[in-house]
Amino acid sequence: MTTLPVRLDRSRPGPLGAQLSAQIRELVTTGTLGRGDRLPSSRALAAELAVSRSVPEQAYEQLVAEGWLETRHGAGTFVASGSTRRTPAPRRRGVTAPAELVRLDAGTPWIDPRHAAGWRRAWRDVSTARPPRGYDDPRGIPELRAALADRLARTRGVVVDPDEVVVTSGTTDGLRHVLTALRPGPVGLEDPGYRAAVETVRGLGREVRDLPAAATISDLTGLVAAYVTPAHQHPLGRVMPAADRLTLLEAARAEDTILVEDDYDSEFRYDVAPVPALATLDPARVAYLGTAAKSVAPSLRLGWLVAPPDLLDRVNARRLVTHDGAPWPVQRAFLSLLRDGYVDKVVRTARRVYAERAPRVAAALAPYAELAGPLAGMYSTWLLPQADAVRAQEAARRAGFEVNLLSGYCRSARLTGLVVGFGGVTDEELDAALAALVSALR
Ligand SMILES: Cc1ncc(COP(=O)(O)O)c(C=O)c1O
């Protein structure tokens, strides 16, 4: 009986059956497993992988449905005769196949798999709840808005009435709603800055103007809105100093500019308490955006918006007509996750993991590069000459990892270096990626 070259990683989000089916599919498409090859029985494979039998069963079932495998009655499971056999892909040295690059991106959080029972409970709760008969309140489920208002006051000092909270499908969705409700005109965005925000603004046909991410923003001339990340500038990591916040607010009042505060990962400070939100200084000037992408999962597509009343009224009036609310099942699940204490738990445990990983990244890279901001969140940004950054990126790729160049976040800014995420990987992967980066920089 052949043993399949597969390996399951329990720290990854998502079902093990899906991980297994992806790896077997790759073995077939790359020709490692050929037409007619027999697969181990689900019982044997389950024993080898130390998982329940349902994991290989689900993977086999999925691949049979897709046509990669076939079952022959009484004989077992085989690579389907109709599946193509390509020339085996050359193996990259030092990497055990099957391999796509493991991404050390700035946006992927670490979720403690020990809390999986809470996640399942929330979705069971959704399955037994009755959905609204028609389109729901465009602002979001009232109980969820109340729970979010509580949480915002507790964790971010943003004191709001539940009716001032709107549930969105994430940060970019919230940004889109805000901009759609504002008069025509250009929007300022930090440079370097969040690429999804830049694309969202451009996608709405608005001109993007560059605001300095690494300096005081004092000029908002002609801008309808300015998008900023004051708690943890993305991607430099800088915290906007108090004096700069006051200068920014003053400039916004002078130009009647709405400030859009993207508060994406402020809960992940491990040295000091999170810096209070900009919105606490002038709620009439700031549209505040929060997201579940960093605390629970980017793929959940859930976030929240708190905005000045007249702006919020326009957002809600439009959403009432367009039915552009966040999906009800996702809202309902997030409500259960909040009530169950799941969100607080995953944030707490992830914060501990980042507090341990961030200094490890710093210890490896500090001899060769300059840290751009304080250690916080699930990534750190390192300034170094572009040639060195590219050499390090290439070395990481050869070892099986994708690390982003800082230049990729710049429009007119000329900053160079690496943005190293450490949330969405295992400890072993992080160590291997750091070793590759260091080998190139040394
Ligand atoms: C700066 C910034 N804001 C927000 C988000 C999350 O966006 P969304 O809620 O649309 O997933 C990310 C994710 O990577 C981010 O880097």
Residue 393 contacts by C-beta under 8 Å, 6 or more apart in sequence?
A: 403, 405, 418
Within 13 Å, how many C-alpha atoms sit on residue 212's CB side?
A: 8
Nearest CA to ligand 1 atom 13: 107
* Model pTM score: 0.79
**Measured in angstroms, how far is the CA atom of residue 264 from the centroid of ligand 1?**
6
pLDDT band at 217 (very low <50, low <70, confident <90, very high): very high
User: Ligand 1, closest atom to CA 172?
Assistant: 10
Distance 68 CA to ligand 1 centre (A): 36
107 C-alpha to center of ligand 1: Å? Answer: 7
> 110: CA distance to ligand 1 center in Å?
15
CB 406 within 8 A of CB 418: yes
The ligand 1 atom at the shortest distance from the C-alpha of residue 193 is 1
> What would the mean pLDDT of 294-321 be, rounded to a whole number?
97
**Predicted local distance difference test score (pLDDT) of residue 313:** 97
Q: Report the share of the chain in percent with pLDDT over 90.
A: 82
- Spell out the residues 6+ positions from residue 123 whose beta carbon is closer than 8 angstroms to its own: 333
Of 110, 166, 169, 171, the one to substitute when testing ligand 1's pocket (max ligand atoms within 8 A of C-beta) is 171
The ligand 1 atom nearest the CA atom of 170: 9
Per-residue model confidence (pLDDT) at position 1 = 42
DSSP state of 6: -
- pLDDT at residue 95, as a whole number: 43
Contact 331, 302 (CB under 8 A): yes
DSSP one-letter code for 11: T
Residue 177, token pair as written in the block: 């709603």
Alpha-carbon distance 227 to 232, whole Å?
13
Three-state DSSP class for 165?
strand
Which of 401, 405, 410, 394 lies closest to 429 in space, CA to CA?
A: 401
The whole-number pLDDT of residue 99 equals 59
Backbone angles phi, psi at 152, to 5 degrees: -60, -40
Q: Mean pLDDT score of the chain, rounded to an integer?
A: 93
Check residue 12 and give its pLDDT.
83
The predicted pLDDT at position 2 comes to 44
Atom of ligand 1 nearest to the CA of 174: 10
Residue type, 34: G
**Does the pLDDT value for residue 94 go beyond 60?**
no
CA of 189 to the centre of ligand 1 (A): 14
Atom 14, ligand 1: residue with shortest CA distance: 107
Which of 260, 261, 264 has the most ligand 1 atoms within 8 A of CB, as the residue to mutate? Answer: 264
pLDDT digits 0-9 by tens, 102-132: 999 999 999 888 899 999 999 999 999 999 9
For residues 203-214, give the mean pLDDT. 97
Helix H or strand E encompassing 179: helix 171-180
CA 292 to ligand 1: nearest atom:
9
228 token code pair: 């900023």
Q: Report CA(302)–ligand 1 centroid distance (Å).
A: 11
Q: What is the CA radius of gyration of the chain?
A: 24
Mean pLDDT, range 63-81, rounded to an integer: 88
Amino acid, single-letter form, for residue 107: G
Helix or strand run (H / E) with residue 372: none
Residues 6+ apart with CB under 8 A from 225: 178, 179, 182, 187, 188, 257, 258, 259, 260, 287
Both tokens of 141, joined, read 């489920």
Which domains occur in the chain, in start order?
A: 16-91 (1.10.10.10), 116-343 (3.40.640.10), 344-441 (3.90.1150.10)
Of 326, 297, 211, which Cα lies nearest the Cα of 260? 211
CA distances from 333 to 125, 196, 301, 427 (A): 7, 25, 12, 29
User: Quick one: which of 326, 317, 267, 257 has its CA closest to 287?
Assistant: 257
Q: Which residues line ligand 1 (CB under 6 A)?
A: 106-107, 170-172, 194, 229, 234, 262, 264, 291, 293, 298, 303
pLDDT of residue 414 exceeding 90:
yes
Would you call the peptide bond into 5 cis, given omega within 30 degrees of 0 as the criterion?
A: no
Q: What separation in Å is there between the alpha carbon of 303 and the centre of ligand 1? A: 10
Pocket probe mutation, ligand 1, options 173, 194, 330, max atoms within 8 Å of Cβ: 194
Average pLDDT rounded to a whole number, residues 196-203? 98
pLDDT above 70 (res 96) = no
Q: Strand order of the sheet with strand 417-421?
A: 370-371, 379-383, 417-421, 404-405
Bond preceding residue 98 cis, omega within 30 of 0: yes
Token pair, residue 399, equals: 């070892």
pLDDT tier for residue 73 given thresholds of 50, 70 and 90: confident
Taking CA atoms, 230 is separated from 6, 31, 193, 215, in Å, by: 43, 50, 12, 12
pLDDT of residue 397: 97
Give yes or no for residue 303 having a pLDDT over 50: yes
pLDDT at residue 86, rounded to an integer = 52
| Cα separation, 372 vs 382, whole angstroms | 6
Question: Is residue 98 over pLDDT 50?
Answer: no
Give the Å distance between the CA of 184 and the centre of ligand 1: 24
Quote the ligand 1 centre to 294 CA distance (angstroms). Answer: 8
Tell me the mean pLDDT in the region 210-232: 97
Average of pLDDT values for 167-178?
98
Where residue 32 falls among pLDDT bands split at 50, 70, 90?
confident
Lowest average pLDDT, out of 8-12, 81-85, 104-108, 213-217, goes to 81-85
The phi, psi pair for 19, rounded to 5°, reads -60, -45
